[in-house]
Structure 1
Amino acid sequence: MSVMKWSVIALAVAAGTSQMAFASQQSESKGFVEDAKLDLLLRNAYFHRDHKDGVQDQSRWGQGFIATFESGFTQGTIGVGVDAYGLLGVKLDTGKSREDGGIAFFGTDSSGKTQDDLSEAGVAIKFRASNTVLKYGDQMPSLPVLAHDTTRLLPQTFTGTLITSHEIEGLELNVGRFTGQNNLTETAHDNGRLKSIDVLGGTYSFTDNLSASLYFSDIKDVAEKKYANVNYIFPLSDSQSLGFDFNIYKSDYDSEFTGTGKDEDNTIWSLAATYSVGGHSFIVAHQRSHGGFNYVDDEGNIQQVGYAYDIGDGGNGIYLANSFLSDFNGKDERSWQASYELDFSEYGVPGLAWKTAYIRGTNIDTGMGDASEREIFNQVSYVVQDGPAKDLSLKLRNSILRTSNTYWNDMNEIRVFVEYPLSIL
């Protein structure tokens, strides 16, 4: 952890020439109750995976209720507050197959039957001094090396301590230790069997158009990870810009995790360039994975692992350009993306957006030769702008995946999300 500590200190020193944060958030606290918020998110979600290799199709449909409470902080030098959440997922349909197929909406009982509902609650206590918050308890962290999964019916949660500091304007520092992970389909605390994960890092905005991040993590008996990001947007005119986003992970996997009897490593990076003009965005990206390991699963099949995530660091712990249905993160995989985004507000329909992408990956080391994969992705989303249904959002996503990679099956996938946020307090 000493390397982690000194690297983040270096990031802070680099930012030291900037002015201190312009105001103390704690000094502006109105009180525990006065600044409190209570929100309820109604999420209706449907997944369908149409497998093309003779594997039975899977589908899941459920209604989720995600309630979050955030108190304000008591007044004084050190403020105290409480955050809490309550999660409930109700099964609406599971199709013909009992198999989950990686959809991860609901768990199964001892007979293999899909459970009718899923619920969880958590609470965390928080303290604030100046612009620094320490929170202990049940949380949903969103960091490049520890990011809870938000892509299913209910979110993933973790238990531990996280310090977030904004003492220098433009600089965010994070230090944390978590000892519990709750998986998406189970309700018992620490059902993810996480021993511990230590995280340390920060993000600094040099200007409105240039920012950089540096993060480290240590997942006990699993892996150590380093992550870096540089994001730059070059304005060309009032309506045009050229943006670049570079992300890289360096992972060292413990022999206890790999099962190969030795430590293994992987480096994966992506570089995306985006040209935006009006409501149009044209993106090209390249992603490259180097290293990894092969292992034999419980059925005797040889599987390849390049960049591994959701191994104690959350199901969204992959801040890379080519992460779609396939993450294109195989051992030694190289992938290219070409995509297009359209914001229809330019044409008088605010809230409506469309994204389409084509991604192709090659050179995947499967342990039995090279493999390739390709994906066509389309997503349409709409957010109601006004009226009784204001903020109601609809998202329809389709992926067509074809692969010779033994780890995946060919499939067509449809995801539908209908969400309605309610501000209760």
Structure 2
Amino acid sequence: MYLLRPTQVFMLSGFAAAIGVCAPVSAALIADSTAVLDTRNFYMNRDFRQDNAPQSKAEEWAQGFMLRFESGYTEGPIGVGFDAIGLLGVKLDSSPDRVGTGILKSDREAPKRAQDAYGEAGFTAKLRASNSTLKLGTLQPVLPAVMRNDSRLLPVTFRGAWLNSNEVKGLNLDLGRLDRINQRDSSDNQEMTVYNGSKRNIVLGSSKTSDEFLFGGGRYQWTPQLATSYYYGGLDGIYKQHLVNLVHQIPLGEGQSFKTDIRYAHSTDDGGSNVDNDAFGALFNYRLGGHGFTAGYQHMSGDTGFAYIAGADNALINLVQINDFGNQDERSWQLRYDFDFASVGIPGLSLMTRYLSGDNVDRGAGLSEGKTWERNTDIAYVVQSGPLKNVGLRLRNATTRSNFGSNLDENRFIVSYSLPLW
């Protein structure tokens, strides 16, 4: 639930008053509104294959509901509106010896048990002037500096303020401040911290969490084929980060294209950690009809691994189902193949498979280099007609092995459906 500060209560009161005053002449506020109910049935099984694992298996099944409402704006030079989101997760199957998939909220005390249900409600006030929008409240940004995670039953949400501007053709600007995160298996807004699992080797000072994440930057579309971006993100007292990106796509004729995606991030400490990382990644994709062939390379350097908000996603090219290959000094590559069965007369069916390998991880003094590999397969189908039209089915399989992390075999099966309410 979004808890308002006194100043924010005052601002929202002003918004509400504005809506009340403008209501007679602001039919667009309601006429332009949308409401969608997203449902997601999620089964996940994760087998731990390493010796002496404290838990042999994590296996749970749950049903998720996501109700999303977006209003239009009142008329006038400054339009006022509001959004709302309701999230609910319901347990279908779990047990204390199988918790920990991340799709259900579990008790904090031992023995941990998945709760029968959990959820949250989020509200966002918004102002629009010309082609700029200011949002205050529950946010779900997908930007290089900060990305919500939506890989389980319910998505991660943030609390804060976010200004987006598109006043110049081709230029998209963002500026914002976040103070809380609500994790995917939680119903509580919490302070943020940096992800420090695996072999990130990040050392924090006295402050383990922060209540301020500042971000800003922009993306410019130079031509229909070329775009570049720069973003800054800083978790107060923990780390500062600069990210640049170049995407270039070359049409090669009918049904063919070649795409280059180059990313670089420079991360340093902000007085309360030892964060020091340079991350470089490059993806190259060739499409031929329904076929997609991708190769990628990623390199970490510096005294730590890549830094980002714990629980969120990040901008690394090798962020995949289980790993992101962002450990200290890690070098990694991937090969990927995609196929769209619409090209052979089966619309709605798609296949993705990839293999990634990482090495040169700093495991500490006197230890050999760390190595990891991961294999993913993703098969998806969206029903095209009949009473089940638009129902989505997805099977995700992953296997990973490492000499410093967990050895895992994992399966996820997801059934999804979106119902427009108006």
**SS state of the match for residue 75, structure 1?**
coil
Q: Contact 1:109–1:115 (CA<8 Å) still a contact in 2?
A: no
Tell me the equivalent position of 2:92.
Answer: 92
Query: 1:67–1:51: structure 2 CA closer, same or farther, 3 Å change rule?
Result: same
Q: Contact 2:104–2:114 (CA<8 Å) still a contact in 1?
A: no
Tell me the equivalent position of 1:76.
Answer: 76
Cα distance in 2 for residues equivalent to 1:191 and 1:97: 29
1:125 partnered with 2:136? no
Cα distance in 2 for residues equivalent to 1:332 and 1:271: 17
1:135 partnered with 2:135? yes
Tell me the equivalent position of 1:399.
Answer: 398
Q: 5+ unaligned residues in a row in structure 2: which ranges? A: 1-25, 193-208
- Map of 1:110-121 to 2, 5 A cutoff? 110-111=109-110, 112-121=112-121
- Map of 1:211-360 to 2, 5 A cutoff? 211-254=227-270, 256=272, 258=273, 263-293=274-304, 306-311=305-310, 315-360=312-357
Q: Contact 1:47–1:103 (CA<8 Å) still a contact in 2?
A: no
1:195 partnered with 2:211? yes
Letter in 2 for 1:344: F
**SS state of the match for residue 146, structure 1?**
coil
Question: How many residue pairs align between the two structures?
Answer: 375
Tell me the equivalent position of 2:175.
Answer: 175
- More deviation, 388-397/215-224: 388-397
Cα distance in 2 for residues equivalent to 1:421 and 1:226: 36
Cα distance in 2 for residues equivalent to 1:191 and 1:88: 22
Letter in 2 for 1:285: G
Q: 5+ unaligned residues in a row in structure 1: which ranges? A: 1-28, 294-305
Cα distance in 1 for residues equivalent to 2:150 and 2:27: 31
Letter in 2 for 1:422: L
TM-score by length of 1: 0.85
Query: 1:381–1:292: structure 2 CA closer, same or farther, 3 Å change rule?
Result: farther
Deviating beyond 3 angstroms after TM superposition, the runs of 4 or more aligned structure 1 residues are 191-194, 321-324
Query: 1:198–1:322: structure 2 CA closer, same or farther, 3 Å change rule?
Result: closer
**SS state of the match for residue 32, structure 1?**
helix
Tell me the equivalent position of 2:408.
Answer: 411
Letter in 2 for 1:240: Q
Q: Contact 1:309–1:318 (CA<8 Å) still a contact in 2?
A: no
Q: Contact 2:318–2:325 (CA<8 Å) still a contact in 1?
A: no
Tell me the equivalent position of 1:47.
Answer: 44
Cα distance in 1 for residues equivalent to 2:243 and 2:81: 31
**SS state of the match for residue 133, structure 1?**
strand
Cα distance in 2 for residues equivalent to 1:217 and 1:204: 18
Tell me the equivalent position of 1:7.
Answer: none
Tell me the equivalent position of 1:186.
Answer: 186
Cα distance in 1 for residues equivalent to 2:303 and 2:148: 23
TM-score by length of 2: 0.85
Cα distance in 2 for residues equivalent to 1:167 and 1:319: 29
Cα distance in 2 for residues equivalent to 1:290 and 1:105: 36
- Map of 1:5-16 to 2, 5 A cutoff? none
Cα distance in 2 for residues equivalent to 1:163 and 1:90: 34
**SS state of the match for residue 66, structure 2?**
strand
Match for 1:35 among 18, 32, 36? 32
Cα distance in 2 for residues equivalent to 1:146 and 1:73: 27
Offset from partner CA, 1:102-158 (integer Å, 9 cap, x none): 635323153422211111001010000011000111111111111111111111111
